[in-house]
Amino acid sequence: MYDMKALYEARSVGEAVALRLEHPQAKILAGGSDVLVQLREGRLAGMEFISIYGIDALRGVTIDEDENIRIGSLTSFSHITRDPIIQKYCNVLGEAVDQVGSPQIRNIGTIGGNTCNGVTSADSASTLHAWEAIIELTGKDGIRRLPIKDFYIKAGTVDIKPENGEIQTAILIPKESYENTYGHYIKYGMRNAMEIATLGCSVNVRLSEDKSIIERCRIAYGVAGPVPMRCPTSEALATGQRPSAELYEAFAKSVISDINPRNSWRSSKAFRQHIAVEMAGKCLEEAVRRAGGEA
Ligand SMILES: Cc1cc2nc3c(=O)[nH]c(=O)nc-3n(C[C@H](O)[C@H](O)[C@H](O)COP(=O)(O)OP(=O)(O)OC[C@H]3O[C@@H](n4cnc5c(N)ncnc54)[C@H](O)[C@@H]3O)c2cc1C
């Protein structure tokens, strides 16, 4: 049914690394919700594949010894949404990935695949950028960790080195990012279901103890450029400020200087800019409300 040259099945990370070194041209297969569609369309015809789907050690959410939230790369979207650690510390990520495709796609699709495909519209990507996630790769030289902003090189290309046998093994959210921090994600799509984002916006905030000041603010977009991106101008504008309707408006307008959306068949650049402004203000307001603030 599928035109594959060979399919190798790894049962451990060590086996996956060894297979990758042996077959550097082979494509990694996780849940297959991107890969098998491309294979069916003939775009990957005749290739070799290394399935990592059987590596159970790469599934699940834990808190590691440094108090990072550690999400194994094979964790499915539906698992993330239901996970108690995610719900307690980083609920917005569960909400964001609950907007992926359909229940079937959310059961089979993995967060590793959603980031390794390098796609700017991926529903996990803007939230992971806003939470300053760390990507963990494992290869022949051991573990390499890098900030998610450096993982995305250009549209569809991420920093994974097949020649070193690397696969992505986890995504970490540092305690410094998630502690006392609350977020909100809005996906704008042309339909409610089975639709990739025309634009995605994720904001999180930490308020002062008396809830009167925004101590820390992060905002990131998907589809506002070739790769997911943060808006440093807007983050600086909100930091140290008292939540207010005026602040939400100024924050929203400021995103324009940082984003760079394009015209596509899905939407014009001007429309993306327009909704980016609207989404930023609404996301900040809701994130402040979730953090216990008022405006
Ligand atoms: C009908 C449909 C609707 C969809 N809707 C949405 C949507 O609304 N929002 C959205 O964000 N996505 C959507 N998707 C895309 C898709 O479900 C996601 O991108 C998914 O997360 C991919 O994960 P996977 O495990 O299936 O990856 P796979 O298809 O197995 O792999 C995807 C890519 O990542 C690489 N890869 C995977 N895991 C690793 C790893 N651990 N290390 C190194 N490389 C790896 C593969 O080689 C491949 O290049 C949709 C897909 C379909 C078919």
- Cβ atoms of 126 and 228 within 8 Å: the answer is yes
Ligand 1 center–CA 35 separation, angstroms:
7
Ligand 1 test: best mutation among 27, 29, 33, most atoms within 8 Å of CB?
A: 33
CATH 3.30.390.50 domain residues, the chain: 181-290
pLDDT at residue 177 is higher than 70:
yes
Quick: pLDDT tens for 60-116: 999 999 999 999 999 999 999 999 999 999 999 999 999 999 999 999 999 999 999
pLDDT at residue 14 is higher than 70:
yes
Q: Which fold has domain 56-176?
A: 3.30.465
Quick: pLDDT tens for 45-57: 999 999 999 999 9
170 strand-pairing partners: 72, 136
Ligand 1 test: best mutation among 114, 157, 160, most atoms within 8 Å of CB?
A: 114
Return the CATH number of the domain spanning residue range 181-290.
3.30.390.50
DSSP state of 26: P
Ligand 1 center–CA 68 separation, angstroms:
24
What is the Cα–Cα distance from 168 to 20, expressed in whole angstroms?
12
CATH 3.30.43 domain residues, the chain: 4-51
Around ligand 1, the residues with Cβ closer than 6 Å are 27-35, 37, 52, 73, 100-101, 105, 108-110, 112-114, 116-117, 122-123, 160, 167-168, 194, 196
- Cβ-Cβ contacts under 8 Å for 236 (sequence gap 6 or more): none
- Cβ-Cβ contacts under 8 Å for 46 (sequence gap 6 or more): 3, 4, 5
Task: Please determine, looking at this structure, whether the domain spanning 4-51 carries the CATH number 3.30.43.
Answer: yes
- Cβ atoms of 171 and 116 within 8 Å: the answer is no
Q: Which two tokens stand for residue 187?
A: 């996906």
What is the Cα–Cα distance from 227 to 147, expressed in whole angstroms?
14
Protein residue whose Cα sits closest to atom 27 of ligand 1? 113
